[in-house]
């Protein structure tokens, strides 16, 4: 069916404007990262008058960016693996069994998802500090402590999404597996998990990206040794000057792997959302 | 007794799962082990999740509520149990709108409401437009779809820090365009301090938030059967009519989830204002999460900070409950 001109023009105009809006900061990030410091400190230039790749070398020296990178990676990967693994078991139980307390559990999970991070930040901070002062276990400032706090948002989201996804997988599949000699856990790993790969990928992508971009917990719960990228990038601002070209170069360096990974996996995300959240 | 009861179960795990209807299991086994086996497994599967939920959500929440009844200042951080009990004092301070702390909280709450309304509204609007316009396939659709997801994929601080750079007064792009190139403003404006900050915050928040709406709605569009459009097309409905009569109504269930999720995320957003403005936001853009953070970690008054958190939580619960009630009532008529 041929769409009318009015529709085609609306489509062209709206989509062009949206693309411009979306890409504007990306252009600024890329172009400013290639300018010398005096150019980014002066009037903005659409076209850089001098192009240099020096900022890409300087970023590693101005702040310990590589260390922050590793910290972010460890924290985000651990939080993702931990929350998704635990959520798979929990979601399977909720999706496939009737048991006492099921409603309490799902309502708790659903409601904790909506609570603001600031609500947990204060008590967790105090718990960590008090555990440290009474037992000597240094949770406050450690990567392990930060990983735990990241579960506050990734675990409920993962459980909630996976329940929806597992519900969309026909029960006959795992019943058949049980007939063929699988136990319930065998059925989970041989049948349900493989069938739920898009949902599991979607949940993992979400958990990883939220952990990678998290600022609130990271700014309170880390120290010099465990600082993640989200806080470490502030190091390019000194008392007198902000090294904007280096800020932009560093932002680009930490973004590229995430954006590429996300764009490769985004099909799964749509598929995961379709079954998990949008029913 | 126990040995005979468990051994057939353990030896043949397959029959335990499949013998739901047959009398075989009942004949040989007492009923209790079977019930425990069936009843125990879900709890075992849930155990790690329940333990963690307790550790990261339930216990902190209880402590947070207890903290809100105590005068918890920096002197008691290492031993918060010793902080003096003050009853409802923290709450009284938080909601005393004539005194500075209460007045600031109320102001911050209202700012957050305005911010959330516009931010969610625009994010939803852009997401809906993009999802619908990208529904039909055309050349460049795949690329645009990827481009539109970039703000969602970019780490929050990297994206927001770039916006902060663009909104710099002297070397930013926004003032360069508005003042130097178009001459709209008489002199370069401040965007990150003063009254303009709320606009800055909304723009950045919409930029960051609308791709999620786009993603959800795109997923929702895939559930609309093609036949509906074909039937409408045969009946002579144009594309605009199809959008109004088929696409938008079909998206209603998605929108109900989407608007609630966007509301909660936007209302609680900390990352955007924190990266844009730092530890204390300008008055016109003083979002509630930053406000509580500031009262707790900058002025070190954890007691009032906790009381504010609890009040915020009660408000969010109330809004969610009312919203769910309204949307579920609207849905009662249909078969969903």
**Rounded Cα gap, residues B161 and A183, in angstroms:** 51
Q: Which two tokens stand for residue A148?
A: 């735990």
The pLDDT of residue B336 is 36
Phi, psi of B70 (to 5 degrees): -120, 155
Q: Which stretches of B195-235 are assigned E, i.e. beta strand?
A: none
Answer whether A193 touches B (CB < 8 Å): no
Residue A110 pLDDT level (bands cut at 50, 70, 90):
confident
- Alpha carbons within 13 angstroms on the beta-carbon side of residue B15 total 15
Option in A15, A86, A148 nearest B133 (CB): A15
C-beta of residue B277 within 8 angstroms of C-beta of residue B192: yes
A1: nearest CA in chain B? B233
Do B184 and B178 touch, CB atoms closer than 8 A? yes
Spatial distance between the Cα atoms of B126 and B214, rounded to a whole number of angstroms: 8
Chain B interface includes A139 (CB < 8 A): no
How many interface pairs between A and B have CB atoms less than 8 angstroms apart?
Answer: 294
CA distance A207 to A215: 14
**pLDDT at position A116:** 82
Stretch among A186-190, B97-101, B196-200, B328-332 having the lowest mean pLDDT: B328-332
Using a CB–CB cutoff of 8 Å, tell me whether B112 touches chain A.
Answer: no
Is A119 an interface residue toward B (CB < 8 Å)? yes
Mean pLDDT of B81-92: 82
Q: Complex ipTM, two decimals?
A: 0.91
* Contact (Cβ atoms closer than 8 angstroms) between residue A245 and residue A35: yes
**pLDDT on residue B24:** 42
User: In chain B, which residues have their Cβ closer than 8 Å to the Cβ of A262?
Assistant: 149, 152-153
Mean pLDDT (chain B, rounded): 83
Q: Is the pTM of this model over 0.90?
A: no
What's the pLDDT at B279? 83
Cα angle: A122, vertex B61, B68; to 5 degrees: 65
Residue B185 has a pLDDT of 84
What lies within 8 Å, CB to CB, of A188 at 6+ separation is: A88, A89, A92, A174
Distance CA B1, CA A142 (A): 51
* B333 has a pLDDT exceeding 60: no
* Structure confidence by residue, pLDDT tens digits, B167-193: 998 888 998 889 888 988 888 889 998
Residues with Cβ within 8 Å of B78's Cβ and at least 6 positions away in sequence, in order, are: A129, A130, A133
Please answer yes or no on whether A15 and B18 come within 8 Å at the CB atom. Answer: no
Q: Do B48 and A278 touch (CB under 8 A)?
A: no
The Cα A6–Cα B176 span in angstroms is 35
**Contact indicator for A57, A36 with CB cutoff of 8 Å:** no
């Amino acid at each position: 069916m041929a769409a009318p001109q009015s529709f085609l023009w609306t489509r062209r105009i709206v989509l062009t404007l949206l693309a411009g809006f979306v890409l504007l900061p990306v252009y600024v990030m890329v172009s400013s990262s290639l300018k010398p410091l005096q150019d980014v400190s002066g009037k903005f230039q659409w076209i850089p008058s001098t192009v240099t790749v020096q900022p890409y070398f300087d970023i590693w020296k101005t702040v310990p960016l590589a260390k922050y990178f590793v910290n972010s990676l460890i924290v985000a990967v651990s939080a993702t693996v931990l929350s998704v693994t635990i959520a798979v078991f929990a979601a399977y139980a909720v999706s496939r069994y009737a048991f006492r307390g099921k409603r309490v559990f799902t309502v708790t999970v659903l409601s904790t998802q909506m609570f603001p991070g600031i609500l947990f930040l204060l008590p967790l901070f105090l718990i960590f500090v008090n555990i440290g002062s009474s037992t000597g276990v240094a949770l406050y400032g450690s990567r392990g402590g930060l990983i735990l706090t990241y579960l506050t948002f990734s675990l409920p989201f993962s459980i909630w999404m996976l329940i929806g996804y597992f519900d969309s997988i026909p029960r006959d599949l795992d019943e058949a597996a049980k007939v063929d000699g699988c136990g319930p856990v065998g059925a989970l790993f041989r049948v349900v998990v493989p069938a739920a790969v898009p949902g599991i990928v979607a949940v993992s992508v979400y958990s990883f990206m939220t952990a990678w971009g998290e600022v609130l917990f990271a700014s309170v719960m880390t120290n010099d040794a465990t600082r993640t990228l989200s806080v470490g990038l502030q190091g390019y601002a000194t008392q007198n000057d902000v090294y904007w070209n280096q800020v932009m170069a560093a932002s680009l360096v930490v973004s590229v792997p995430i954006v590429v990974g996300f764009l490769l996996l985004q099909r799964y995300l749509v598929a995961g959302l379709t079954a998990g959240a949008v029913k | 007794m126990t040995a005979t009861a468990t051994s057939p179960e353990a030896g043949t795990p397959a029959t335990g799962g499949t013998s739901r209807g047959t009398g075989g299991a009942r004949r040989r086994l007492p009923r209790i082990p079977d019930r425990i086996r069936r009843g125990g497994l879900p709890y075992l599967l849930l155990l790690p999740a329940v333990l963690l939920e307790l550790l990261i959500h339930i216990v902190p929440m209880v402590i947070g509520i207890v903290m809100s009844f105590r005068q918890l200042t920096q002197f008691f951080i290492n031993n918060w149990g010793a902080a003096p009990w003050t009853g409802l004092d923290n709450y009284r301070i938080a909601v005393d709108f004539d005194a500075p702390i209460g007045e600031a909280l109320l102001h911050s709450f209202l700012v957050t409401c305005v911010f959330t309304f516009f931010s969610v509204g625009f994010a939803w609007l852009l997401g809906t437009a993009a999802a619908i316009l990208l529904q039909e396939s055309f050349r460049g659709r795949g690329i645009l779809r990827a481009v539109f997801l970039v703000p969602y994929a970019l780490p929050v601080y990297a994206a927001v820090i770039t916006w902060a750079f663009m909104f710099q007064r002297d070397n930013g792009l926004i003032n360069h365009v508005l003042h130097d190139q178009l001459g709209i403003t008489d002199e370069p404006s401040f965007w990150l301090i003063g009254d303009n900050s709320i606009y800055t915050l909304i723009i950045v928040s919409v930029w960051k938030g609308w791709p999620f709406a786009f993603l959800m709605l795109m997923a929702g569009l895939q559930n609309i059967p093609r036949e509906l459009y074909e039937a409408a097309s045969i009946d002579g409905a144009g594309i605009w009519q199809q959008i109004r009569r088929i696409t938008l109504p079909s998206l209603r269930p998605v929108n109900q989830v989407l608007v609630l999720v966007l509301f909660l995320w936007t209302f609680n957003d900390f990352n955007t204002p924190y990266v844009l403005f730092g530890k204390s936001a300008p008055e016109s853009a003083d979002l509630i999460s930053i406000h509580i953070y500031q009262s707790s970690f900058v002025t070190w008054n954890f007691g009032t900070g906790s009381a504010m958190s609890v009040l915020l939580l009660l408000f969010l619960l109330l809004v969610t409950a009312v919203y769910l009630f309204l949307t579920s009532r609207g849905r009662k008529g249909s078969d969903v």
